[in-house]
Amino acid sequence: MKNVHSYWAYLVLAILIFAVVNAVIGVAKKKKFTDKDLRVGLFALIVSHIQLLIGLVWYFMSPWFSALTEDAGAVMKEKSLRLLAVEHPVMMILAIVFITIGWSKHKKRTTDNAKFKTFAIFYGIGLLLMLSKIPWNNWL
């Protein structure tokens, strides 16, 4: 399960980066928001939610969850354990929340520029949150 979670993360990051760059280009060039742009945003939403589900299943099977339930104080004192047991899961959930809010808000926007801007802001925040708490030492 850990391997699936790790390899799927590459796909999530690639698609999310593509969606954010696409949205920024759309804002900068004042492009028309097309079905392709909608699909890019939707695909980023879908793969990130799948990653969340995979991650939650892995988290509850992981030794970090066991360590947290046995001795939360010790986990919180150890930086590397805290990252894997608390910081990474919480930050990834927040990232998915921002992506989901961005998807919901874009549907209410009436102009093409506003739709791109909504994706750029909310998906961008989600991407930054993800990048900030990826356990790079364990992942690469």
CA dihedral sign of residues 39, 43, 46, 52: negative
Alpha-carbon distance of 59 to 65, in angstroms, equals 6
pLDDT band at residue 70, thresholds of 50, 70 and 90? Answer: very high
Alpha-carbon distance of 14 to 38, in angstroms, equals 17
Check whether 6 has a pLDDT greater than 90: no
Give the mean pLDDT of the chain: 94
pTM: 0.92
Question: Letter for the amino acid at 59?
Answer: Y
Check whether 138 has a pLDDT greater than 80: no
pLDDT band at residue 68, thresholds of 50, 70 and 90? Answer: confident
Check whether 39 has a pLDDT greater than 90: yes
Check whether 53 has a pLDDT greater than 80: yes
What mean pLDDT comes out for the span 3-16? 93
Check whether 140 has a pLDDT greater than 70: no
Which of 98, 68, 100 has the alpha carbon at shortest distance from 84? 68
Burial degree of 31 (CB within 10 A; 0-12, 13-18, 19+): middle
Phi, psi of 115 (to 5 degrees): -65, -45
- Lowest mean pLDDT, pick from 12-21, 46-55, 78-87, 109-118: 78-87
Kindly state the tokens that stand for 18: 């593509």
Kindly state the tokens that stand for 73: 């104080």
